[in-house]
Structures are given as structure tokens and as C-alpha cells.
Amino acid sequence: MPTSDPEAPVATDFVREAVSEDLASGRFDRVHTRFPPEPNAYLHIGHAKAVWIDYGVAKDFGGRFNLRFDDTNPEKEDQEFVDAIIADMKWLLSADPDVHRHWDGQALFGSDYFDRQYELAQELIKKGLAYVCDLSPDEMREARGTLTRPGVDSPWRNRSVEENLDLFARMRAGEFPDGSKTLRAKIDMASPNLVLRDPVMYRIRRAHHHRQGDAWCVYPTYDWAHGLQDSIEGITHSLCTLEYEIHRPLYDWFLDQLGVFHPRQIEFARLNLTHTVMSKRKFVELVKAGKVSGYDDPRMPTLAGLRRRGYSPEAVREFCRRVGVTKAASVTEMYQLEDCAREDLNRRALRVMAVLDPLRVVITNYDDVKTEWVEAVNNPEDPSAGMRRVPFGPVILIEQDDFREEPPPKYFRLSPGTEVRLRYAYLLRCDEVVKDGEGQVVELRCTVDPATLGANPPDGRKVKATIHWVVADQALEAEARLFDHLFSAPHPEAEDSEPDSGEPGYLKHMNPDSLRVVKALVEPSVAGAAPGSVFQFERVGYFCVDRDSTAEKLVFNRTVTLRDTWAKIEKKLS
């Protein structure tokens, strides 16, 4: 069995089963897949699923993989997207160390086959299987019929081969205005499958193409172009999402009539995620309305957004593995994705201490000129990450939430008269609470037990909580961007259009707290961390350094919080 890694169990899903059968039956003697994005938008997590199916099948069967841009509509496409998609693809597939065995890292372009395609269109005309049609868009829609009513033949359907050849050549030569004529396949206007009711193959559009420039004024439609692109590249398995299922008869028809190499199209269900939206159109609306800062806003489900949020390509790959491959329409819970981030970051993130909501603690029995350094573990999951030293001193900052003047039941942290462990340092007892004029707690006066530095107390007493801290005079001031779900409703798209106002209905479900910007006080060891570096702020969450960081001020994005058992307990109590 030609698997790239014989040790790995071959994943079983209906696509891979079909591919196995094709190899066993001799229908194909190799496997070659492709991912065919249109360069008109940024890639999102749904595309990542498709890429990992397309690429993953090629990899599992020891085959090849192409990235091919489906660039047949110059009015929507742009070089900006080509560049962004290539960058995203390289990032995504870098999760496979063997990627070079299956993908050469290059991009192909459907538009490079325009000449060959034009010739094949002429072949179809010569066979009497395509004709030039003068119907306007409105007339064509009317003649197409409906779901329950058959269409009627175009009055131009029976032009002679010679006339069609001549007209088609003149269409290409630019003799007719935009939209005035089309080349259509002659199939069946009464077909119950609307896709087969004489579909348009070419339309006239004088638009500047991002690669072809102004060389063409006729552009092929998806159905006519896609199968041919696959065929020309020797693709064996053309994997796509379910909405193309009804196009498969047309995909097959073109290839059969032409008698060219015939790939097999197989369709799978696209990815949907709760608490977000997943369409180009909605991305554009969110960006244009200023609801997010751009396509790489860390709250967006784009690959650029996920990357900036702190997701590694490995975490995205694991997510795609977990959601599987089926034909059932589904909506995956966002928690699935978040768990993949936690699992990945737990393994790789360096631990540091940072306080997001500080409360000043003065240690009254600690020599106020003394700074000592305590030893801290960089990553308990990875001993090779080593140790570091963290400064400790007489005035520290702890998290407001780690102190309660009146502790609720089961609260193990600091309160008047109780004792907690300061991570990597001493046991700390709260002796006195200092308040301002409004009664707000502004400072704690505490004492440490000198016998407990990195050791349990000699008398054997236990504390139930360990809290994090930073030294007041050496902490780095940073910005922390705390992200949450973009939408508070799990299924914002369920309520799409708002009849009364012009605003799309799903916007009503946006989470007003999807971004909170706070000041963070971080231990000095993170000074100079490069953008993209990932950390766990102990007991708080996973953070990565944003590209907005400067030498003067670090900016952190919260990728995901840590699981918070106490928050659950407290929620139940209230």
C-alpha cells in the first residue's frame, strides 16, 4: 500500500475508501489531488479542512498535490489574494514536515490554460454540442424554467456549426458588447437538474485579468473550466464540497464529450463553526462595517486571523483531523478548535507570570532594599525548556481576583488572615487590608514565612492555593488584548437577514465583549520577545506577541484562556 508513513494507521473515511477502490480496480494507478481556491478572498478555517482533505489524501496515498487558482472571473480576482493565499498555504502545510514530498510549493493558475480551453470549446462546437446564444441574462433566466417547470430551448440553439464557429471567433475577437452573447453547451433544457439546462461556457467581459491582462474578453465559467483544469493537470481525484454535487453530471459530461483524461469528483460536507460566520461576503461586511480590524483580526476565523491569534499550523491540522470527513451537514462547536489550541500550546508555550488586574501587596517583614531571585520552571511539560530566574521583592502585585475580603465557600485563595503560596516563592499571609475613601481595597499588608522559599513549611501546615505575582518595580508594562467569541449566539447565521433594517440579522448577535484591551504587568524575562512568540501566563491563559508590539511596549493577544474550574464553581454558587 503506497502510504507515505507505513507506521501511521491509514485514516478511514468515505473519500479515502473511494480512492482505495479506484486504485484497486485500476481506474487510476496513482493519486493526484488539488486545492482550487478562487483568488477573491482570504482563506478561512473551512478552507483548511478542505486543504487537509485534498492534501491529506495525496499524502496518504503517496501522491502529488497541486495548489491551483481557479481564476476565471477577472472582475472579482486580485493579485493581493493570490499572494495572501500562497502565504497561508505554506503556513498551513508547514505542519507536515514531509510537505515537499507531495507539493512543490508552487501555485498553478487555471487561466494559464485559456488557450487550450478555447480550442476544446471549438471542438465541442464542431461536434454540435455547443452554440452561441444571443439571449440576454433576463431572457435566459426566463427560458431556464424553474425547479418544477422545464426550460424552453433558446431560439439560437440550432445555429449551424459554421455560424457558431464564426460567431465564437468574433466573440473572442471583441466584436460584440459585454454580455450580448454567450457560448452554451447544448444538453437538455428539460433536465430536472437545472445545471444541465444548456449551461453557459463563455461570457463576454472586458475586464482586466490579474494574470492575462487584456488578452481576453471572453472568460470561461466555473463548470466549463474546472473539470478541464483538473484534466489538464492529471488530477485523479477532484475533491470538493457538497454544493458541487449536482454539478458532477456536468463535470462528467464535458470530459466525456471531449474524450480527455477524466478525474473523479467526490464531494464532502463543508465546515461550519459555532459562534462565528464563515463566508467571504460576511467577512467583507464585518471588515467594511468596522466590526473587526481587518481580515487578520484575531477574532476572525481566517487563517491569517488564527495565525495572529496564536494558533500554530499543527493545532489547525489537529482540528481538521478531529472534525473528520463525511457528507452530513454539521456545525462543529468552537470548543473543539479551542481545545486544539490548548493541547498544542500546553506542550509548547513557555510559562511566565503576568498580572492583568493588579492589587498591590506590601510584605512587611521583608527587607525593603533586598531583591532576590527565585527559580522558575519554563515548561513543566517539557523539561528541555529549562529554568529561569524571576526577581522577588518587598512590594509585589497579585491578581485582584486572588483576594477576597469575604471569601465565598470553597475559595482557597487569599483573604484576611489566610495564607497562600506565592508561585516559586514564599507562603504569604494577609495581615491587613488597606482601603481608600470609597472603601475600595487598594493594598494588602502581608508577611511571608522565610522558611518556605521553595520548601514546604517545617510544621507541616498546608495551603490550598498557589497564586502568581510580579514584582512591582521590575514588572514590564504591556498591553493584553483579551479576545472572546465574535458572536455570542452559537448560530448567528440562523438569523441572517433583517427584514426591517438594511443591516444583516447576524450582526445583532455580535458579542459586545469580543475584545477587551487591558494593561498587563509581566515578569521581566519576556522583554524583547519577538512577534509570534507564545507564552502561558500562568493561571490566566495562552498569549502570543502581536505584530503591533514595539521595543517600548509589548502587545499580547490572548489565544485562549486556561480551563477555569474555579470560575465554574463560583458560577454554580451564584
Partner RNA sequence: UGGCGGAUCGUCUAAUGGUAGGACACCGGUUUUUGGUGCCGUAUGUCUAGGUUCGAAUCCUAGUCCGCCAGCCA
Tell me whether residue 400 or residue 456 sits nearer to RNA (CB atom).
456
Smallest gap from Cβ 569 to RNA, in A, equals: 5
Coil, strand, or helix at residue 266? strand
Q: Return the bridge partners of 64, or none.
A: 32
Q: Which member of 76, 101, 157, 270 is catalytic? A: 270
Q: Which of 154, 221, 231, 236 binds RNA (CB under 7 A)?
A: 221
Window 528-567: contact mask with RNA (x via CB under 7 A): --------x-xx----------------------xxxxx-
Q: Which of residues 31-50 bind RNA (CB under 7 A)?
A: 36, 38
Q: Taking the CA atoms of 92, 483, 352 and 565 in sequence, report the sign of the dihedral they define.
A: negative
> Rule CB under 7 A: which of 404-443 touch RNA?
410-413, 421, 423-425
- CA–CA dist 136, 147 (Å, integer): 21
E strand intervals along 350-394: 350-352, 354-355, 358-363, 372-377, 387-392
Among 106, 146, 550, 574, interactor with RNA by CB under 7 A: 146
Q: Distance between CA atoms of 3 and 59, rounded to whole angstroms? A: 7
Quote the least distance from Cβ 392 to RNA, whole Å: 12
Q: How far apart are CA 102 and CA 82, in angstroms?
A: 21
Say how far apart CA 44 and CA 357 lie, in whole Å.
Answer: 34
- SS3 of residue 310 by DSSP: coil
Cell 477587551 -> residue: 516
Q: Does 135 bind RNA (CB under 7 A)?
A: yes
# residues near RNA by CB under 7 A? 97
The stretch among 115-123, 152-160, 165-173, 337-345 that binds RNA (CB under 7 A) is 337-345
- Does 466 sit near RNA (CB under 7 A)? yes
Chosen residue from 52, 219, 366, 487 binding RNA by CB under 7 A: 219
Q: How far out from the chain centre does Cα 44 lie?
A: 4
Residues between 265 and 284 with contacts to RNA, criterion CB under 7 A: 269
The CA-atom distances, in angstroms, between 486 and each of 230, 273, 291 are: 37, 12, 9
* Using rule CB under 7 A, residue 154 touches RNA: no
Render 73-97 in DSSP notation, one character per residue: -TTT--HHHHHHHHHHHHHHHTTST
Q: Can you tell me which of 94, 136, 158, 371 binds RNA, judged by CB under 7 A?
A: 136
| Element housing 15 (H / E) | helix 14-25
Q: Indicate which residue of 126, 141, 280, 516 is catalytic.
A: 280
Q: Which residues in the 309-328 window bind RNA by CB under 7 A?
A: 322-328
Q: Give catalytic status of residue 270 as yes or no.
A: yes
456 counts as binding RNA under rule CB under 7 A = yes
Which parts of 155-214 interact with RNA (CB under 7 A)?
Answer: 179-182, 192-195, 199-200, 203-205
Q: Which window, 216-224, 258-266, 298-306, 523-531, contacts RNA (CB under 7 A)? A: 216-224
Give me 486's grid cell: 465574535
The answer to whether the beta carbons of residues 129 and 164 sit under 8 Å apart is: no
Closest separation in Å from C-beta 337 to RNA = 8
Is 130 within 8 Å of 161 (Cβ atoms)? Answer: no
Q: Catalytic site residues?
A: 38, 270, 280
